[in-house]
Structure 1
Amino acid sequence: MERRSLPFFFFFWTSVSALLTPKGVNYEALMGIKNSLKDGNHVLYNWDGDAVDPCNWVSVSCSPDRFVNYLLLQDNNISGPIPPELGRLKKLETLDLSDNFFTGHLPHTLSHMKSLHYLRLNNNSLTGTIPSSLANMSQLALLYIGNPEICAIGKEQNCFRTTTQLSSNLNNVSQDSEWSGRRKKQKMGLALGSTLSSICLLILGFAFLLWWRQRYNKQVFFDVNGTYFN
């Protein structure tokens, strides 16, 4: 009896260990996401057990340690609620669900993705308030325009505060981008000015050389003529 239980225990331990690996976490979370959605364009066709590594699935990119860090599902005719299983992708940095037909409220589990920096939800049919736990993620740039029923001001409690805070986060990102753009333009202007100055100096130097050679040749010509008549 004890010997018979060993293979079962080994199989059970192997299965549990697999779920604890990045591949196992990725697989379970992504399959949960797929099963809760209607994939209008069949973009998730290879999200199944036959694909050896979820990091090779369509719309998925992984970090060097094999955790999912990019999930790009934009503009794919996907419908359904936003899956709470997304919160299991703890290393996710960019999530793009824009230009689809997602409905319902934003799940609180999105705030479990502490590494998330960019979340695009624009142009869907989402409703309700944005969870405060998500709004308080200071590193997050959230784009959710094109959802007319999300966080309706005056209908949901604390909606205006949440919207204002998220807009502030986006403004900070925009200001950083604008400042970076200005610095780049300044550097380009300085480089262009230096280049033009160098070109002008070369032209002046070349013109001076031509003038000097022309004058020198005239002096030699006059000297030779003077020597000839003497």
Structure 2
Amino acid sequence: MASRFLGFFLFVFAVAISPVTCTIEADALSALKKALVDPNGILESWDERFTDPCTWFHVVCSRDNKVIKLDLGDYGLGGSLVPELGLLGDLESLEMFQNNITGPIPIELGNLSKLISLELYENKLNGTIPDSFGKLKALRFMRLNNNQLTGKVPESVKALEKGNLMILDVTNNPLSD
């Protein structure tokens, strides 16, 4: 009897927790969708009524239904990035290269502790490279080249090259030394 109760408890607990994670991730991605201009309709499957973003195109999830990759490179997207992206705690790869994304890079992306690849090159991003990126210890690839980023590359970001970071490309930005 105790094992049945424990099994039932674990099932109820898993069901209760799973929608919360999906809702947080779905809300974050819905905020991104609202901030983007999507002339080709590639985000049409991102329907807020379906709170499991693992069913949405261009979203890759782990076996336990956590968003681990956004594959939005070279789709002609405009608009801006949103701070809510920093809520995707299991994100390993953010690919939004070769679009027309403008505005600053949200400092909240520095919360993505599992991020391995950050591909934001060939957009129209401006402002500075967030110092919070220095917290991205798992990062191996950071390509921010061909944007309109200004200021200096933060020392905390340069220090990542002594760890896992293999590629840091910030070329073709009006950065200062």
Residues 102-181 of structure 1 mapped to structure 2, 5 A cutoff? 102-140=101-139, 141-147=141-147, 149-151=148-150, 156=151, 159-162=152-155, 165=158, 168=161, 172-173=165-166
CA distance in 2, matches of 1:171, 1:80: 31
Is 1:98 equivalent to 2:91 in the alignment? no
| Overall identity of the aligned pairs, in % | 32
**SS class of match (2:166):** helix
Contact 1:130/1:162 (<8 A) preserved: no
Determine the structure 1 residue equivalent to 2:23.
Answer: 24
Runs (5+) with no aligned partner, structure 1: 1-16, 175-230
Question: In the comparison of the two structures, how many residue pairs are matched?
Answer: 151
Residue correspondence of structure 1 range 1-230 to structure 2 within 5 A? 21-51=20-50, 53-140=52-139, 141-147=141-147, 149-151=148-150, 156=151, 159-162=152-155, 165=158, 168=161, 172-173=165-166
CA RMSD of superposed structures (Å): 2.6
More helix as a share of residues: 1
In our comparison, the structure showing a higher alpha carbon Rg is: 1
Between stretches 132-141 and 165-174, larger displacement belongs to 165-174
Distance 1:100 1:170 in 2: 29
Distance 1:38 1:162, change over 3 A: farther
Q: Which residue of 2 aligns with 1:189?
A: none
The alignment's TM-score, normalised by the length of structure 1, stands at: 0.59
Give, in whole Å, the separation in 1 of the partners of 2:33 and 2:157: 33
Choose between structure 1 and 2: higher strand proportion: 2
RCO comparison, higher one (Cα < 8 Å, 6+): 2
CA distance in 2, matches of 1:122, 1:167: 19
